[in-house]
Structure 1
Amino acid sequence: MAKRLAIVLTEGYADWECALLMATARGDCGAQTVVLTPGGADVTSLGGLSVRSAGSVEDASPQDFDVLVLCGGTIWQSGAAPDLSAPIGRFADAGRPVAAICDATLELARLGLLDGRAHTGNYPGQLKDVVPAYRGEAHYRNQPQAVRGGAVVTASGAAPVTFAREVLEAIGLGSAELFDYLAMYGDEHRQATA
């Protein structure tokens, strides 16, 4: 049976953050990617890309999906951020992976999921600045790559390549060849040679 990824997009989601994950999961791994949104509403990205929702994230069940992926975007730092404690709690309680990139890591911090495990975010201090109840400073990894701490994957908005890799690995997809392919997307950051 094909793996199923619940991709959570919100109004103003960051187009680039989950695109590589979604394309690789579908195109290279034969997985299903299902876009869920708060309330099941259609959403528009920061870049103006409109997406039709396949359903409400509030109804997402770990029996139906192998991972819950939260895409970043402007909403997570605003008062309009959705309360996703119920679906995230269901996935965490079931031991299913939960992944968040960029400002979506703030939702995991609000729920205390980062307090006792390795994680990262956009920059040191952001989680505590935006979520005063956050207590995971000792477990924060100040690195450019995504971090997997148990069944939780986190990444800065500048790390969609390693985010894709960690999510796919967390649900048992991928191979050395696939991860080499994903690494190619980061090659532009290597020093040019003459």
Structure 2
Amino acid sequence: MNHSTPEPKPVHLAVYDTFADWETGHTTAYLARAGREIRTVGPNREPVKTVGGVRIQPDLALDELRPEDSSLLILTGADLWDTGDDLAPFARKARAFLDAGVPVAAICGGTAGLAREGLLDDRAHTSAVSFYLAATGYKGGERYVDADAVTDGNLVTAGPTEPVAFAREVFGLLGVYEGEVLDAWYRLFHDSDPEAYAVLEKAGQ
């Protein structure tokens, strides 16, 4: 009999015009290195263009994405979060994921989208600054945490200047890296700590 662990479900990265290139690079690169499949999900299947001018062809459209087919939905920042309701369907999808017990990770503008959707009213969270979220009119101000990144249950949030802390929280939530290895990964990429490299080397053997 074959008792091998089933393949983990893919991680879904939301992509849309003005997507902030730098915010999820560490997260997706190291999830992929750990053997996780990354699939991009756009508003539809038309190509999108990041804030850095990189064209991305989505693997699937938002309405094709089901929480039961995913291990995580990542919502990246984008100018579009703050200029209208174009990305509101992505926040509604995040609600479906959280309702189904599937994790969501949001950074920068993605956190404002979740705030508008009411998903931060009763969860500890962070963002760029508290008044950025306060401007959404949400009711979760008392749950705001002044930290680089925050995990509450199945939800990770971070501000735009914390892509490494964001990745750390995602890896911890998914169990990709744990304990001293997770700590060493963060120290290497956040603090350029040379001693952390040795820990990762040893763990990789």
Aligned partners of 1:59 and 1:87 also within 8 Å = no
TM-superposition CA deviations, 1:163-193 (whole Å, max 9, x none):
111112222221332441233111159xxxx
Q: Which residue in the other structure is 2:142 paired with?
A: 138
Name the CA distance, whole Å, in 1 between partners of 2:13 and 2:183: 21
Q: Residue 88 of structure 2: SS of its match in structure 1?
A: coil
SS in structure 1 at match of 2:44? helix
Distance 1:54 1:160 in 2: 23
User: Is it true that 1:15 corresponds to 2:8 in the alignment?
Assistant: no
- Native 8 Å contact 2:172 2:182 kept in 1: no
Is 1:72 matched up with 2:77? yes
Distance, in Å, in 1 between the alignment partners of 2:24 and 2:38 is 11
Deviation at 1:61, TM superposition (A): 1.1
In structure 2, the residue matched to 1:183 is: 187
- 1:128 is aligned to 134
Superposed, which structure 2 residues align to 1:10-159 within 5 Å? 10-27=16-33, 29-84=34-89, 85-129=91-135, 131-132=136-137, 134-143=138-147, 145-159=148-162
Tell me the amino acid that sits aligned with residue 24 of structure 1: Y
Any conservation in 2 of the 1:67–1:98 contact (CA below 8 Å)?
Answer: yes
How many pairs were matched up?
185
The superposition leaves residues 22-50 of structure 1 with CA deviations (integer Å, 9 ceiling, x where unpaired) of 100001x1101111111222111111111
In structure 2, list runs of 5 or more residues that go unmatched. Answer: 1-6, 194-205
Higher relative contact order (CA 8 A, sep 6+): 1
Q: CA deviation at 1:3?
A: 4.1
Task: Give me the identity figure in percent.
Answer: 32
The structure with more radius of gyration: 2
Q: CA RMSD in A?
A: 1.6
Partner Cα separation in structure 1 for residue 116 and residue 176 of structure 2: 29
Moved more, 54-63 or 104-113: 54-63
Contact preservation (8 Å) 1:121, 1:154: yes
Task: Extract unaligned runs of 5+ from structure 1.
Answer: 190-194
For residue 14 of structure 1, report the CA deviation from its aligned partner. 0.4
Could you tell me how far apart the structure 2 residues matched to 1:139 and 1:174 are?
Answer: 27
In 1, Cα distance between the equivalents of 2:41 and 2:13? 6
Q: Distance in 1 between matches of 2:10 and 2:183?
A: 19
**Aligned equivalents of 1:58, 1:122: Cα separation in 2:** 29
Question: Which residue in 2 is equivalent to 1:192?
Answer: none
